[in-house]
Amino acid sequence: MTVPFRIREAGSDDNERLIALSKRCPTRGPLSVYSDRFPDFFAMTRQQGERSFIYVGETYDGEILGCVVLIERMEQRGEQSVKVLHLSDLRVDPRFKRSALAALLIQRYSERLQAGSYHHGITEILKNNAEPSRANNILKSSVEVRTKARVTLYKLFPAWNYRVSKAWTYRQATPSDYPKLSKLLQSVYRDAVGAPSFSLEWLQAATQKHSSFTFANIWLALDDKNEIKACLARWDQQALRKTVVVRSSKAVKFIVRFLTLIGFLWRLPPLPKTGKPLDYQYFRWLAATSENMPALRSLLRFAMRKTRDDGKYQFALVGFHDRDRLKSAVRGIIRHKEPMHIYSHRLINSSEPLENFTPSSSAPVSPSLLKQALYVDASLI
């Protein structure tokens, strides 16, 4: 379909049309879903970074046919704080998949990457997500696309009351915990590529952006001296975005019927029918030093008990880089894995050294990829 359109930066007046576009752009695969951003499309982007840029492609009659969201974040790289541009939420109306619209939206990302003094750009690509993969192919003419990491997203199921150790006590964080929390998170993520600073000021700001995520969302494991040994945060994002089921394959319907039976036996909420949202929450900011990993494992099980007690969540979602030692915390929890790759976009004329980057290809990711674990926050993807 050939329709003349223009590319421009989005404004608040585009809110309803951007929400409608998201509904028209479900994912492909056995379970087709879309992201419902009602009532405020921009609310989630305000959580994802320090600044965002949203570009839309629209007809001259004002119909929005596509969009791309660019998120600016400050991330740690050794002792330095660098500015990184994230490419996300590339959506094109299915009627215009074969048009030049996606390429023009991606061009805005390339232009901003080159003009904005960014250290590099990044995009995260889930399996079966075709649009970002297409973005990488388009970008190869202007930037160097490199595989940065392989990540696994885990769906953790509250199947039963997981065993919790009595060696620690567990409670929600309070404002007085901020200094010690900041110190713990900084010590754990100091060498993690892409992590935020986790400074006291950053931590306070991050828990004041939206009422759905405050200091009370953070849970702690404390020893008998009342010292924080592990932490994690739970985040229900239903007020910001919902994942709505559009259609499912026969195989998925069979699995749903099976899980409904298992759910009845395990007291799990049933998976939603077509047109209804999935009910899940994110886990983020999991942290514990190497010697305190048992505390983190027990805290995660405590959080899964809370998830089960809430009685409405089908699963909790958390992500780890494949080299991250923290991922061992999910052992013993019933889970489903979904692979995701993270790609770095480096300007071809950049003076940035090439270490820690592997050229993108269809081959498996090399074990020499990253010596350090990459910071992953699935709640911001």
pLDDT > 60? residue 178: yes
| Confidence class for position 28, pLDDT limits 50, 70, 90 | confident
91 with 181, same domain? Answer: no
Other beta carbons within 10 Å of 8: 12
pTM of the predicted model as reported, rounded to 2 decimal places: 0.89
Claim to verify: residue 49 and residue 87 sit in the same structural domain: yes
Average pLDDT over residues 24-31: 85
pLDDT of residue 27: 87
What would the pLDDT profile of 93-142 be if each residue is shown by its tens digit?
A: 999 988 899 999 999 999 999 898 899 999 988 766 655 566 777 787 77
216 and 313, same domain (yes or no): yes
The rounded mean pLDDT for the chain is 88
Decide: residue 363, CB within 10 A, 0-12 exposed, 13-18 middle, 19+ buried. Answer: exposed
pLDDT given for residue 186 in this prediction: 96
Does 349 have pLDDT greater than 90?
no
The residues, ordered by sequence, that sit 6+ positions from 39 with a Cβ below 8 Å of its Cβ are 19
Of the listed ranges 37-46, 195-204, 368-377, the one predicted with least confidence: 368-377
- Domain match, 140 and 178 both: no
Same domain, 308 and 178: yes
Q: What is the mean pLDDT of residues 4-9?
A: 94
Angle between helices 15-24 and 41-48 (to 10 degrees): 90
Residue 218 domain-assigned (yes or no) = yes
Q: How many helices (H) and strands (E) does the chain have?
A: 8, 15
Residue 206 has pLDDT above 90, yes or no: yes
In the chain, the largest separation of any two C-alpha atoms, in whole Å, equals 69
**Cα distance between residue 335 and residue 347, in whole Å:** 38
Judge if 313 and 363 occupy the same domain: no
Map tokens 């409904």 to a residue: 260
9-13, 89-93, 190-194: lowest mean pLDDT where?
Answer: 190-194
Q: Is the pLDDT of residue 265 over 60?
A: no
Strand ranges for the chain from DSSP E = 5-9, 31-36, 51-59, 64-77, 80-92, 120-126, 143-156, 169-172, 218-222, 228-235, 242-248, 280-287, 315-321, 335-347, 358-359
CA neighbours closer than 13 Å in the CB half-sphere of residue 148: 21
Confidence of residue 352 (pLDDT cuts 50, 70, 90): low
Same domain, 36 and 173: no
Please indicate, yes or no, if residue 134 is contained in any of the structural domains: yes
pLDDT of residue 261: 61
The confidence score (pLDDT) of residue 305 equals 97
Domains identified in the chain, total number: 2
Do 16 and 84 lie in one domain? The reply is yes
124 and 202 share one domain:
no
pLDDT above 70 as % of the chain: 85
Tokens in use for 298? 């027990």
Is 14 inside any structural domain?
yes
Backbone angles phi, psi at 223, to 5 degrees: -85, -175
In a domain? residue 290: yes
Domain enclosing residue 14, as ranges? 5-151+340-371
Q: What pLDDT, on a 0 to 100 scale, did the predictor assign at position 272?
A: 74
Residue 72 maps to a domain: yes
With a CB cutoff of 8 Å and minimum separation 6, the contacts of 224 are: none
Residue 261 lies in a domain: no
Residue 358 has pLDDT above 80, yes or no: no
Q: Indicate the pLDDT class of residue 356, thresholds 50, 70 and 90.
A: very low
Q: How far apart are CA 289 and CA 175, in angstroms?
A: 22
Q: Are residues 73 and 199 in the same domain?
A: no
- At 255, the pLDDT band (50, 70, 90 cuts) reads low
pLDDT at 372: 65
Q: What is the pLDDT of residue 283?
A: 99
Please count the other Cβ atoms lying within 10 Å of the Cβ belonging to residue 374: 21
- Looking at residue 42, its pLDDT comes to 98
Which CATH number covers residue 329?
3.40.630.30
**Strand-pair category, 218-222 with 169-172:** antiparallel
pLDDT average, residue stretch 1-17: 90
The per-residue pLDDT for 126 is 78
- Degrees, nearest 5: CA angle 321-25-85: 45
d(CA 204, CA 182): 9
Does residue 265 form part of some domain? no
What pLDDT is recorded for position 80? 86
Does residue 253 lie within any of the structural domains? no
174 lies in the same domain as 317: yes
State pLDDT tens for residues 160-173.
899 999 999 999 99
Of 40-44, 293-297, 337-341, the range with the lowest mean pLDDT is: 337-341
What pLDDT shows up at residue 364?
A: 38
Nearest to 324 by CA among 361, 363, 296: 296
Residue 302 is predicted with a pLDDT of 99
Q: Are residues 311 and 168 in the same domain?
A: yes
Predicted local distance difference test score (pLDDT) of residue 254: 53
